[in-house]
Amino acid sequence: MTEDTLPVQSGKQIADAPEAWEVTSTALPFEGKKTGVRTDDVVMPDGSVVRRDYQVHPGSVAVLALDDEDRVLVLSQYRHPVREKLWEIPAGLLDVPGENPLHAARRELYEEAHVKAEDWRVLADVYTTPGGSDEAVRIFLAREIGAADGERYEVSEEEADMELARVPVADLVRGVLAGELHNNCLVVGVLALTAARSGPGLESLRPADAPWPARPFEN
């Protein structure tokens, strides 16, 4: 079927929907410290069975922290798979199954930037690479930010080389569109923030405890 022959449903509301095709066999040939690789034999609509390999991932949270001067808190961190230092927003894994993502986001903001926030909302929920991983990320918008209480978290490994900065939103948007910034959560977060502002407004964003079917949690 070519693009010209694809059916078009004008005015249809577009929303992703849960669906699970039959799996005839499954295996976990590799399991690392935090993630693994699963191999599934999946029944296709035409009855054929194909093998799909994908990363299994606990899920992540990311925080777009916006200060009162309309600057976003970003950090530069080395990412070995792509051999680059990327500018990112604070982010981290959901270390405990069923962990409340807001609790995890508060923790990551404290650990990576020694910052706290009073106003939290959900900016976007995304699958990072759904063709090859089940990783789901919830991106929060954090406002009314200030220095965290207590001692700074002791960082190690790649985090020991992090550089922190506060960058105006407009500069980040320009960097994304110019192909200078590539981190998934930063790109999605900054563009979602811009879209919300130009549309229904930030007060229309979902509350911080909004349901997240991709990673159900307890309040």
Cβ of 113: how many Cβ atoms within 10 Å?
Answer: 23
Q: Is 159 a catalytic residue?
A: yes
Q: Strand pairing partners for 64? A: 141
CA atoms within 13 A on the CB side of 144: 5
Q: Which structure tokens are listed for 158?
A: 């790649």
Decide if 98 contacts 118 (C-beta within 8 A): no
Q: Say how far apart CA 79 and CA 134 lie, in whole Å.
A: 20
Decide if 166 contacts 67 (C-beta within 8 A): yes
Catalytic residue, candidates 159, 163, 203, 218: 159
- The DSSP call for residue 180 is -
Enzyme catalytic residues? 159
